[in-house]
Amino acid sequence: MVLDNEAFKSAFALLKAAIDEKRASVSVRDPQGLVIAALWERIHKDFEAILVGMVKNGEFSQRRIDIDKLRDEPQARRFIRKVLG
């Protein structure tokens, strides 16, 4: 499953580490910087929760299928794109 994949976990760990690093570099005397750092953290948590929820519910794969239907491309090009990955 995608949620158990090490690459998936690593990506979110790296993102969290980058946010923590940015937050640590913000001065305590910079209230606007602290607010922005808190927003980064909230966005990270929200993004992770939404993505995990979509993967668990199967919505992520369904949206990918829907995107394939919406693409305006010739059948030959679609076939080659799917074969080559």
pLDDT (tens digit per residue) in 13-72 = 999 999 999 999 999 999 999 999 999 999 999 999 888 887 888 776 666 666 777 777
Chain centre to alpha carbon of residue 53 = 12
List the domain boundaries for the chain. 2-84
Residue 29 gets which letter from DSSP? Answer: T
Contact status, residue 5 vs residue 30, Cβ threshold 8 Å: no
Which of 7-11, 52-56, 69-73, 74-78 has the lowest average pLDDT? 69-73
* Residue 81 binned pLDDT confidence (cut-offs 50, 70, 90): confident
Supply the pTM of this predicted model. Answer: 0.60
- For 72-85, what is the mean pLDDT? 83
Q: Could you tell me if residue 44 is left (phi over 0), alpha (psi between -120 and 50 degrees) or otherwise beta?
A: alpha
